[in-house]
Chains A and B, each alone.
Chain A
Amino acid sequence: MSDRNKNGSGKKKPVSAGNNASTVNQSWLKHPLVIKTGVVLILVFIAWLIYLDAQVRYKFEGKRWALPAQVYARALEVYDGRALNMDNLENELALLNYQRVDQPSRPGDYSVRGAQVELVSRAHDLPDGTHLSRHFRFSIRGDVVQNLTAVDGQNASIVTLEPFKMGGIYPHVKEERLLVSYDELPESLILALLVTEDRDFFSHWGVAPLSIARAMVANIRAGRVVQGGSTLTQQLVKNFYLSRERSIWRKLNEAFMALLLEVHYSKEAILETYANDIFLGQAGKTAIHGFAMASRFYFGKDLSQCSVGEVATLVAMLKGPSYFDPRRFPERTTERRNLILKLLYDVDFLSMAELQTAQGSPLNVVRKPSLQTNRYPAFMDLVKRQLKQEYHEDDLRTEGLRIYTTLDPQVQREVERAVKEKLPQVSKDPSLQAAAVVTGVGTGEVLAMVGDRRTRYEGFNRALDAERQIGSLIKPAVYLTALRQPDKYHLATPLSDEAFRLEFENGQSWQPDNFDHEVHGTLPLYQSLAKSYNLSTARLGLELGVEQVQETLRLLGIEKPTTPYPSLFLGAQSLTPFEVSKFYQTIASNGFNMPLRGIREVTNAQGELLSRYPFETEQVIEPEAIFLLQHAMQEVMRSGTGKSAYWTLPSALKTAGKTGTTNDNRDSWFAGFSGDYLGIVWLGKDDNSPTTLTGSSGALKVWTQFISRIPQYPIASRKPKAVDYHWYHETDQVLTDERCRGAVPLPIWGEPAGLEYASCRRGVGAIKEWFKSWF
């Protein structure tokens, strides 16, 4: 017996059985191993809490989501005088999910009665500010908007519709999300969430033990899971931080993280994050997250514009977006929606009349929008390339940038249709490929682009990357070089279209030939271009010199090295369709170089302007020379290789252009412009094998189709003061009198050097001329 059992007198202290047990317990707790283990567990628990805390704060305060960049087409502006036809307007409204109704009253409604259109636009934000919803009317007569008036009485000189979202630049995990702040959440949404998911949200600390207990009782009674006990905070933790793994460990993590979240952040911040994070559907490979995105996806409108029934539908989907998909399962979704509406009535948010109205209304889901990223893959490619010059790839994919482009959905639509419809008509060969670029003549904006005959195919972009020999497409540069020297050349300068052979010092030779293998004698310069004769063009080029023509190409916007040999004059030069656009853009815009651009502005996710790509221009070619060249290129369309376009185009639509065909018909090109649009079309095969097409029989047909379907203005270049019209007799190749039979007005810069004058024939000569004109 130890000394501890003795009292002070040395007598033994009596020891009872109970005393023995508590002493044993106390001694067990005081056991060093137990104490050490307890301390270690506490330390581990604290460390674990610190780790969870760090996780919670890191993600919540950092970049919460990888937000894809949103890419928008140009916003349609409606104003008196705008070229627009009814078909294009309705197509644009369909893209924006506008509904055709009898009496437009809500944003997104429109009506058409004959030529009269009435429309209620949706409110939206653009880089220049917020555009409120507008109710307005206008008519379309002769493909022009007229009589734009506001129904609400406000000024309506221009009404801008929201831009069509044409795609995005996505992170590797494909999610679509639009962020909203807590203040932007509709009251009906907040209340619906609370009554459905977490009534005590604003009073608990992230975990609600009573709710858990309540749910357990309900589930035990039902024999299955009928009620969840998780709070909104726990649901957010599960979705935002953790996996869907069902385990005690995950539940523990979830509970403590919820507590930590509540410690650090306000209820509003938590609810806002929940509303932006929640999964609400799938569109192909893209997941729909957040109520704001879901409202666009299901109802085609902003969350702020959703009715209480539509909000209730979104909340109804929380139980299972696939099970309660309003498009696939409207009946069960309606039933769940009505249940939620009843709950809103129970808390006095809705009156009985409002409840009945909402429960009786249809779901109002719109046609499923396409969220594929490659709707216009060729154009998106251009946008990405231009953005990568200023932004990191990672920022493009994750920062939620908003990119406002120059793409015109109507022009793009017509170009795609023309490619799809015309290619099978011009050739049965399925390997024939196509590329097209359309730009605004006066703006330099890229309005449409196609890089493959399968216009939605996201692969090799021929518009930007297919370097092909351009053939006769280069000839305007040769003739422009000449026309810039008015003391030596003018449109009526006689050119010799006779065969020749050029011998080089290295023993090689060059012997060009015409397409028809014929020679055509002497003819005026403009006709040589109109008929695209090779011999006369080559002779002219040799007079001018290769370097001069190269310099003209450089001025026109071709930055890459060009062929330093005479074969350059006939198009032995490879360019992409986009590069061809650059040099024809300068011709079409009267000698002013303007950088082609596919983007107007870039903002961040909050709408703050980051980049602006303004209009820029620089005069590089004399307007007199360009005016003459444009006249000659119009002759191409009137009487030359492009004239078949007027089997389709109206005669009053003045256009100018140039066909291009390379050796063995490997490439079929056409470049043409009106007053508004410049279009470049290329047809050919990727393996560079011959086709059966010339520029006229192939590319021109595609160009003609889309140009004929877009309302536009004809060419109307202002005549420079130094240019005068002279009457020119085409057959005799002399200047003559006004209204002389066989004479045409010809613009000439300066004095018409080298041209003789002959008066109109009278008497027998006139009669002979008259007889000749019948044959």
Chain B
Amino acid sequence: MVLTRYVFFCLLLVLLQACSNLRQQSIVAVNEGGVGTMSASSERSNYTPTPRAVFELLRKANHLAAQTEWGAALRYLDQAQRMAPEEAQVYLQYGEIYLNQNRLEKASAMFKRVLTLSEEGADENETARRYLRQLN
């Protein structure tokens, strides 16, 4: 009888320990959720945070910039920036346009923003670093 109670007690301890570990894992998951973590409010799904429409705007801006239509290009970038303020490529293009316009301070500010929004080693991150080295 005593042995049974002891075994039961040990099993209970093991079960509680396992539950505690699960709780720790969930804290880690929540705290280290990177870009792209969606709110679960109102049954929202995990959707990619940068809409494809933004990339279309970036293409248009790039095309206009290639034709030195800076004003029109910047307008598309403003729209893309509103739609996806965390998308590094938006700021990379801003920076490149400002560089072409010789607005170096603004360009530098945009490239710095790229660094905070992209992983080291990513294309836009490397490009921004290269531009910043040139500006310095």
Question: Which residues does A use to contact B, with CB under 8 Å?
Answer: 77, 79-82, 85, 127-128, 141-144, 146, 157-158, 440-443, 445, 590-592, 600, 612, 614-619, 623, 649-654, 674, 708, 711-714, 716, 718-721, 725, 738-739, 741, 743-745, 767, 770, 773
Known: A615-B81, A718-B117. 11 other contacts (CB 8 A): A80-B51, A80-B52, A143-B41, A144-B44, A442-B81, A614-B78, A674-B39, A716-B33, A719-B32, A719-B34, A745-B31
**How far apart are the CA atoms of A51 and B48 in the complex, in Å?**
71
B37: which A residues are within 8 A, CB to CB? Answer: 654, 713-714, 716
- Whether B45 lies near A142 (C-beta < 8 A) is yes
A770 in contact with B16 given A128-B75, A443-B85, A720-B116 (CB within 8 Å): yes
**How far apart are the CA atoms of A628 and B31 in the complex, in Å?**
12
- Whether A81 lies near B47 (C-beta < 8 A) is yes
B27: which A residues are within 8 A, CB to CB? Answer: 744-745
A714: which B residues are within 8 A, CB to CB? Answer: 33, 37-39
- Whether B41 lies near A653 (C-beta < 8 A) is yes
- Whether B52 lies near A157 (C-beta < 8 A) is yes
A-B contact pairs, 12 of them (CB 8 A): A80-B51, A81-B51, A85-B42, A142-B45, A143-B41, A652-B40, A653-B40, A714-B39, A716-B33, A719-B32, A738-B24, A739-B24
- Whether B47 lies near A144 (C-beta < 8 A) is yes
In terms of DSSP, what is the predominant structure of the interface of chain A?
loop
Which B residue sits closest to A743, measured CB to CB? B24
B47 nearest CB across to chain A (Å): 5
B49: which A residues are within 8 A, CB to CB? Answer: 81, 713, 716
B63 nearest CB across to chain A (Å): 15
- Whether B109 lies near A619 (C-beta < 8 A) is yes
A654: which B residues are within 8 A, CB to CB? Answer: 30, 33, 37
B8-37 to A contact mask, C-beta < 8 Å, 1/0: 000001001000110011011011111111
Would you list the 5 A-B pairs with minimal beta carbon distance, nearest first?
A442-B85, A142-B44, A81-B51, A652-B40, A79-B53
A143 in contact with B42 given A442-B86, A615-B78, A714-B37 (CB within 8 Å): yes
- B112 lies within 8 A of chain A by Cβ: yes
B40: which A residues are within 8 A, CB to CB? Answer: 650-653
A653 in contact with B39 given A81-B49, A619-B109 (CB within 8 Å): yes
Q: Which of A81, A718, A719, A721 contacts B48 (CB 8 A)?
A: A81
Which B residue sits closest to A148, measured CB to CB? B53
Which A residue sits closest to B112, measured CB to CB? A619
Which A residue sits closest to B57, measured CB to CB? A158
- Whether A718 lies near B116 (C-beta < 8 A) is yes
Which A residue sits closest to B42, measured CB to CB? A143
Give residues 37-79 of B contacting A (CB, 8 Å).
37-45, 47-53, 56-57, 71, 74-75, 77-79
- Whether B109 lies near A712 (C-beta < 8 A) is no
**How far apart are the CA atoms of A142 and B41 in the complex, in Å?**
8
B56: which A residues are within 8 A, CB to CB? Answer: 157-158
- B123 lies within 8 A of chain A by Cβ: no
- Whether B120 lies near A721 (C-beta < 8 A) is yes
Which A residue sits closest to B25, measured CB to CB? A739
A79: which B residues are within 8 A, CB to CB? Answer: 51, 53, 83
- Whether A82 lies near B51 (C-beta < 8 A) is yes
B133: which A residues are within 8 A, CB to CB? Answer: none
**How far apart are the CA atoms of A745 and B33 in the complex, in Å?**
13
- Whether A443 lies near B81 (C-beta < 8 A) is yes
- B106 lies within 8 A of chain A by Cβ: yes
- Measured as residues with beta carbon below 8 angstroms from the partner, the interface class of chain B is 35 or more
Q: Which of A708, A739, A744 contacts B21 (CB 8 A)?
A: A739
- Whether A158 lies near B53 (C-beta < 8 A) is yes
Question: Which residues does B use to contact A, with CB under 8 Å?
Answer: 13, 16, 20-21, 24-25, 27-28, 30-45, 47-53, 56-57, 71, 74-75, 77-79, 81-83, 85-86, 94, 106, 109-110, 112-113, 116-117, 119-120
Q: Which of B32, B34, B45, B106 contacts A616 (CB 8 A)?
A: B106
A725 nearest CB across to chain B (Å): 7
Which A residue sits closest to B94, measured CB to CB? A615
B78: which A residues are within 8 A, CB to CB? Answer: 600, 614-615
A445: which B residues are within 8 A, CB to CB? Answer: 82
**How far apart are the CA atoms of A85 and B43 in the complex, in Å?**
11
A653: which B residues are within 8 A, CB to CB? Answer: 39-41
B90 nearest CB across to chain A (Å): 9
B52: which A residues are within 8 A, CB to CB? Answer: 80-81, 157
B81: which A residues are within 8 A, CB to CB? Answer: 442-443, 615
- Whether A592 lies near B44 (C-beta < 8 A) is no
**How far apart are the CA atoms of A714 and B53 in the complex, in Å?**
21
Most buried by B among A442, A590, A651: A442
Which B residue sits closest to A655, measured CB to CB? B39
Which B residue sits closest to A142, measured CB to CB? B44
- Whether A77 lies near B83 (C-beta < 8 A) is yes
B109: which A residues are within 8 A, CB to CB? Answer: 616-619
A491 nearest CB across to chain B (Å): 12
Q: Which of A590, A616, A711 contacts B41 (CB 8 A)?
A: A711
- Whether A157 lies near B53 (C-beta < 8 A) is yes
B51: which A residues are within 8 A, CB to CB? Answer: 79-82
Which B residue sits closest to A747, measured CB to CB? B31
**How far apart are the CA atoms of A743 and B43 in the complex, in Å?**
31
A669 nearest CB across to chain B (Å): 25
- Whether A141 lies near B16 (C-beta < 8 A) is no
A716 nearest CB across to chain B (Å): 5
- Whether B35 lies near A718 (C-beta < 8 A) is yes
**How far apart are the CA atoms of A745 and B28 in the complex, in Å?**
7
A652: which B residues are within 8 A, CB to CB? Answer: 38-41
**How far apart are the CA atoms of A619 and B106 in the complex, in Å?**
11
A614 nearest CB across to chain B (Å): 6
A745 in contact with B47 given A592-B113, A615-B78, A619-B113 (CB within 8 Å): no
B86: which A residues are within 8 A, CB to CB? Answer: 442, 716
- Whether B82 lies near A443 (C-beta < 8 A) is yes
A121 nearest CB across to chain B (Å): 16
**How far apart are the CA atoms of A134 and B84 in the complex, in Å?**
24
B13: which A residues are within 8 A, CB to CB? Answer: 767, 770
- Whether B34 lies near A718 (C-beta < 8 A) is yes
A65 nearest CB across to chain B (Å): 30
**How far apart are the CA atoms of A718 and B79 in the complex, in Å?**
23
**How far apart are the CA atoms of A716 and B46 in the complex, in Å?**
13
Q: Which of A142, A143, A617, A744 contacts B110 (CB 8 A)?
A: A617
**How far apart are the CA atoms of A294 and B82 in the complex, in Å?**
34
**How far apart are the CA atoms of A143 and B43 in the complex, in Å?**
8
- Whether B53 lies near A80 (C-beta < 8 A) is yes
**How far apart are the CA atoms of A143 and B40 in the complex, in Å?**
10
**How far apart are the CA atoms of A600 and B82 in the complex, in Å?**
11
